Structure 1
């Protein structure tokens, strides 16, 4: 939310007369963010955020504002757009499209707890589910094609290890069938600075101006890469497990999502490394421009690659000829310290395992994908989740 377009008090006071919000009391530019011009605005009628859109088309703005209203009506704590006296939500200021939204209570989190990550996982899944009833469509502008194009653009400006890393990752990303992943409405930028907590409760979802129709799994990966990482970029497993478990309690993953989870984490890390690299290498003009450090997401990408290469896609456990409680113990030992999203397949001959292993899994936050019997052998397929 950098300031590219300065606004005077007189210009803002005149602009506000289009809204039933009272008289201007004060305002200040917001330094965080990178895309649009934003101000905190206080009037005699309340507190608001003013956004001047620097790049978006009228069709994009119709989508964003209607989506804000849709999610607000669905009970999602988003910043609701203010309506002008004539009922419209979009106005013009300094020759640019502008909107005024309610300023929500709360503050951003520096280091979220697992409980706060779980709260966000629940809200994100609810956003995805309720978004299925939203009638408008907006294509991704930071999707796979953009990542490939931007990657090749900045690749020409890099050298050494960074160039080799980017070249290798671009080649890997070309092998991932992103088009097979389930899609719907996504926020696409749900970082910690776009979420508010107030009194221990999630109180606000902000900055919907990257929202689009895209992969739900990618939206979740964007969240994980910001909310569930240690300072060095490695995953904070308790936060990761809490977030994914809470998300899947509302919208369980489909098998294709489970299969491509690690690849999608890499894609999400790549996207923000590229956008930050481009902002540094090819800066835009502006009055208060925030440039975020690209090395943060370069390091996160390196960690996601290492985790992907080290992680077995599917763990097979032979628990045949073991009697209760040994099959459950074998599974428990296998999943201990595993991150969320790993598939574990146990083959047993004790028929009691068909009940005991799923019961144990559900108690401990894992998801039962499948149970089946063939003759004397019984197969239970789990996906790791929130480990107690």
Structure 2
């Protein structure tokens, strides 16, 4: 099949062709989200509201989608809330076209996590449960030593310190700087790349933060954005969460 992505109406036509959802309205862009890696759209249908996401059609992306959808189903089966993937008419989890793919997932009516003692406890418990239920399942290859956000750019830190001194050049500011500097030095030594094999690894979310946890009030409704999930250090998830 040869189809080019030319507009929202075309996406609607593809959905009507491949899904049994009754009447399908023309999709609209999903507000409040970036559209860098792929397009995200809201689709209203007779069967409910969904989020449509488009991806490039290449072997790496296809393999990643299969893994993400398998992981999403696994999490749901183990009691963790997710945005369910809507199957196509022929039972697949996404539509494959010539140069792009289309995925439909359940639209979650919620908001990003508001930080308070209750939501922090819920987030921590959910992350621990995520790590627990994912032990032993196959994971895509990922260099577990190359942790995201593990290196602090020293030049940026020094610029922040210089800006702080312009506002308040006293012993308190200098004391905070010395304490932070000592912490960064100790952290750099503890997380040296040659020592990272000492930390326990497994399947991690890879992007665990409040923007990827959808809440209704203080109730967690969905864990989203599994694109960075893979083999990694549990400490990476924990440190990014806090």
Instruction: Tell me whether the two structures share a fold, i.e. TM-score over 0.5.
Output: yes
Q: How does 1:217-236 map to 2 (within 5 A)?
A: 217-224=235-242
Q: Does 1:66 align with 2:70?
A: yes
Corresponding position: 1:18 with 2:8: no
Instruction: Note if 1:28 corresponds to 2:32.
Output: no
**Aligned-pair CA distance for 1:146:** 7.1
Query: What are the within-5 Å matches in structure 2 for residues 69-148 of structure 1?
Result: 69-92=73-96, 95-109=99-113, 111-134=114-137, 136-140=138-142, 144-145=145-146
Structure 2: distance between partners of 1:146 and 1:36 = 24
The residue that corresponds to 1:264 in the other structure is none
Residues 207-245 of structure 1 deviation map (CA, whole Å, 9 limit, x = unaligned) = 111111211221111111xxxxxxxxxxxxxxxxxxxxx
Corresponding residue for residue 300 of structure 1: none
RMSD: 3.1
| Aligned counterpart, 1:185 | 203
**Greater CA drift, 214-223 or 172-181:** 172-181
Q: Secondary structure at 2:83's aligned position in 1?
A: coil
Q: Is the 8 A contact 2:40 2:52 kept in 1?
A: yes
TM-aligned CA deviation for residue 186 of structure 1: 1.1
Tell me the SS of whatever aligns to 1:213: strand
2:143 counterpart of 1:161: no
Do 2:24 and 2:44's aligned partners in 1 also have CA atoms closer than 8 Å? yes
Structure having greater relative contact order (Cα 8 Å, sep ≥ 6): 2
| Equivalent residues of 1:139, 1:214 under 8 A apart | no
Partner Cα distance (2:96, 2:82) in 1: 22
Runs of 4+ in 1 over 6 A off after TM superposition: 168-171
Match of 2:181 in 1: none
TM-score (norm 1): 0.47
- The C-alpha deviation readout for 1:318-347, integer Å capped at 9, x for no partner, is xxxxxxxxxxxxxxxxxxxxxxxxxxxxxx
Q: Secondary structure at the match of 2:110?
A: coil
Provide the C-alpha distance between the structure 2 equivalents of 1:147 and 1:106, rounded to a whole number of angstroms. Answer: 27
Structure 1: state its 5+ residue gaps. Answer: 225-388
Match of 2:218 among 193, 200, 210: 200
Tell me, in whole angstroms, the C-alpha distance in 1 between the residues paired with 2:192 and 2:147: 12
Matched residue pairs, number? 207
Pick closer, same or farther for the CA change 1:187–1:175 going to 2, 3 Å. Answer: closer
Normalising by structure 2, we get a TM-score of: 0.73
Give, in whole Å, the separation in 1 of the partners of 2:217 and 2:157: 45
- Structure 2 SS opposite 1:85: coil
Q: Distance in 1 between matches of 2:193 and 2:228?
A: 25
Question: For the residues of structure 2 that align with 1:221 and 1:139, how far apart are their CA atoms?
Answer: 21
- Which runs of structure 2 are paired with 1:1-388 in the superposition (5 Å)? 7-30=7-30, 31-33=32-34, 34-54=36-56, 56-92=60-96, 95-109=99-113, 111-134=114-137, 136-140=138-142, 144-145=145-146, 161-162=155-156, 172=189, 173-175=191-193, 177-224=195-242
Q: CA 1:67 to 1:16, structure 2 compared with 1: closer, same or farther past 3 Å?
A: farther
User: 1:133–1:6: structure 2 CA closer, same or farther, 3 Å change rule?
Assistant: farther
User: Which blocks of at least 5 consecutive residues in structure 2 are unaligned?
Assistant: 160-183
